Amino acid sequence: MFSKFGFNPTDEGFVLSASNRLMHGQIPHVDFSSVRPLGYAYLHIPELLFSKTHVFLMSRFIFWLEQVLIAYFWISIIISYSKTEVTLFLKYTLIIICFLFNVHYFPASVLHTIDGLLLSVLGIYFIINEKKWNYIGYFFIGYAAICKQNYLIILPMTIYLFGRENMIRNLLIGILPIIIYVGYIHLNNGWHDLSIQLSGHNEIVNVGIHSYLSNPLMYIGFISVFVYYKMKINRIYLSILIFSVASILLISNHYHGKFIFLFLGLIAGETTHKIVKQENCILPFIALIIAWSVSISVGYNSPALFAGGMISILIFVHFNSLKNRIQNMILLLFLLVGISIFYFVRTNNIYRDMPKKYLHYKLDNLVEGAHGIYTNKNTYSVLLELDSLKKTTQNLVTVPDFTACNILHSHQSKILTEWPNKTEIPNEKILGKVTSKIKNDTALLFAIPIFQTALLKDGFLPQENEGLSYPIIKFIKEKYRKTSFTDYFEIRKK
C-alpha cells in the first residue's frame, strides 16, 4: 500500500549499496569507508539476489517485516516477563499500537538502526522465554552491536539482569560476533582503517547526554509520573492522554523532534518510581536503555524509532487490570484512531517527497532496481537528466547524493563510501580514504547538484554556500575545474 510511493535521492539506498560491495567480495573498512560497523550490510545481501528490477520494493518489504517483528517480540517480552494473562485482543492491539508509533512517518527503507533494534529485541525475547536456548539471545544482541555501536550497552545490561548464572558463557557468546567481525578485518590488514573510521565521531556527550538533559520535555515526562501516582489519577484517563499526545505529535509532523523525548521522560520516571517503591523495574528499564540506544545518532538524534515500544508499555501498565468491557471499548477506539492517523501521515508526509496524490512519475527503466516506485515531477526531472548524463558521459561520478542510482554497481565506484555526506566523512583522515582512488584519476568527471537535493519536493533551491560545507564537494572544487553546467548539475574534471 505504501511501499511504492516516494523516492528520496539522498539517503535512499546507502545500506543496499554497502551490501552490494560485500556481495562482490569487498572488505569492510579496508576497501571502503564506514563510520559504523557493517554487520547490517551482510543481512541485506539476499534482497539484492531476489530481483534486479524490484530491489527497492523488496527492500521496503523487509523494512515492514522488521517493524512487525519488533512490535510482536516487544509485546511478547512485556507479557511474558510480567507473567500477566491478557486477552488476544489486548495483545494484538498493543502490537499494532507499538508498530504504528514505531514506524510513524519514518521512510520505508532498511536501516542499521532498525536492524540493531530488531536483533536486540529478539535477543531479549530469547533470553526471557527460552530456558534451554537462551544463550542464542546474547549472540543476537552481540550482532546488534556490529550493526550500530550504540547497541553494545545492551549486552552487559542483559547479562547483569538475566545471565549472571552463566556470565562467562553468555559474555563469550555475546562478543563472538564482534570478535569475528574485528578479526576478519584485522586478518585483511584493516585494523588501522577500522579504528580511524569507528572513532570518527566523538559526539556521544552531545547526542547521548546533552540532548536529553537540555530538553525540558524529559523533565516534564519524568515529573508527570510522580504526579500521577501522587494524585492517583484514573488509569484510563492517563492512557487516553498518552495515546492522544502521541497521535497529535504524529499528525502534526512533530513526532521525530524534541517532543518525542516526553515519552522517554515518562519511561525514566516510571523506572525511577518503581526503584523508589522497591518494585520490579526491569521492563521500563529495558525500554529506557533500548530507546536511548536507538536515539544516539548524529543524523537522527531521536528515540522515535522505539516510541511505539515506550507507548505500548505505558498503556500495558494501565490496561492490564481494567475490566474487559471498558478496556476493549477504549482499545478499539485506539485502533480506529491510530490506523486512521497512520494512513493519513503515510500518504501525506512521505520522506523528502510530496504527498501520494502528486506522485505520478514512475521510475521504471530510469533508476536500476526501482521498478514500481513513484515520485514527484521535480525528482523525476533530475533523475532523467542524470540518466541521460550517464549514458552520454563515461566515468561520471555524482556526489554527494544519488547513491540509490548506483546500488548494483557500487563495487565499481571510485568514491569509497556509500553516501559521502558530512556524517560519513567527519574528518580529514576519512576524507583521504574516501577520495584515495580519485586523487590522481584524470579521466573522471564529477556531477555536483546545484540545488539542495533533500528539498527537491519543495523546488530547486540553490546549494547553501555552493555546497562547500560537504567535505567531498570542497575537495572536488579545489582539485577539479568547472567545465560546464546542465539544468541541474555542475560538471567538473581535471
Kindly state the percentage of the chain with pLDDT values over 70. 99
- pLDDT tens track for 272-284: 999 999 999 999 9
The SS3 assignment for 473 reads: helix
CB-based contact 229:273 (threshold 8 Å): yes
pLDDT at residue number 320: 62
pTM above 0.85, yes or no: yes
Average pLDDT rounded to a whole number, residues 194-207: 85
Residue 486 lies in a domain: yes
Rounded Cα distance between 393 and 322, Å, is 68
pLDDT at residue number 323: 58
- pLDDT tens track for 210-242: 888 888 999 999 999 999 888 877 778 888 999
The SS3 assignment for 490 reads: strand
Residue 473 lies in a domain: yes
Q: Among 267-271, 297-301, 386-390, which is the least confidently predicted range? A: 297-301
Average pLDDT rounded to a whole number, residues 63-90: 94
445-449 and 396-398 strand pairing: parallel
Average pLDDT rounded to a whole number, residues 397-409: 93
Average pLDDT rounded to a whole number, residues 165-187: 96
Tell me which of 132 and 389 has the higher pLDDT: 389
Give the domain extent around 388.
376-493
481-485 and 361-362 strand pairing: unpaired
Q: How confident is the model at residue 150 (pLDDT cuts 50, 70, 90)?
A: very high
374-375 and 445-449 strand pairing: unpaired
Rounded Cα distance between 87 and 84, Å, is 10
pLDDT at residue number 471: 94
Residue 280 lies in a domain: no
- pLDDT tens track for 418-476: 999 999 999 999 999 999 999 888 899 999 999 999 999 999 999 989 899 999 999 99
Please spell the DSSP secondary structure of 272-340, one letter per residue: HHHHHTT---HHHHHHHHHHHHHH--SS---SGGGHHHHHHHHHHHHHTTS-HHHHHHHHHHHHHHHHH
In the block, residue with C-alpha cell 585494523: 191
Q: Does the pLDDT at position 299 exceed 80?
A: no
Q: How confident is the model at residue 386 (pLDDT cuts 50, 70, 90)?
A: very high
Residue 405 lies in a domain: yes
Q: How confident is the model at residue 163 (pLDDT cuts 50, 70, 90)?
A: confident
- pLDDT tens track for 342-374: 999 999 999 999 999 999 999 999 999 999 999
Q: How confident is the model at residue 494 (pLDDT cuts 50, 70, 90)?
A: confident
Q: Does the pLDDT at position 123 exceed 90?
A: yes
pLDDT at residue number 22: 98
pLDDT at residue number 57: 96
Residue 385 lies in a domain: yes
Residue 267 lies in a domain: no
C-alpha cell at 304: 522515535
What are the b/e assignments for 49-62, b being 16+ CB within 10 Å? eeeeebbbbbbbbb
Residue 248 lies in a domain: no
Which residues contact residue 115 at a Cβ distance below 8 angstroms, ignoring those fewer than 6 apart?
39, 40, 43, 66, 144, 147, 148
CB-based contact 348:356 (threshold 8 Å): yes
Q: How confident is the model at residue 74 (pLDDT cuts 50, 70, 90)?
A: very high
In the block, residue with C-alpha cell 515529573: 223
Side-chain half-sphere CA neighbours of 156 within 13 A: 3
Domain count within the chain: 1
Q: Does the pLDDT at position 71 exceed 70?
A: yes
Q: Does the pLDDT at position 207 exceed 80?
A: no
Residue 448 lies in a domain: yes
361-362 and 374-375 strand pairing: antiparallel
Tally of residues, the chain: 494
The residues facing 445 across adjacent strands are 396, 493
What are the b/e assignments for 391-429, b being 16+ CB within 10 Å? eeeeebbbbbbbbbbbbbebbebbbbbbbbbebbbbeeb
How big is the chain by its Cα radius of gyration, in Å?
24
Exposed / middle / buried, residue 132 (Cβ in 10 Å: 0-12, 13-18, 19+): exposed
Kindly state the percentage of the chain with pLDDT values over 90. 79
C-alpha cell at 415: 568514491
- pLDDT tens track for 320-347: 655 577 788 889 999 999 999 999 999 9
Longest CA–CA separation in the chain, Å: 75
Residue of 138, 147, 133 lying closest to 66 (CA atoms):
147
Average pLDDT rounded to a whole number, residues 296-310: 89
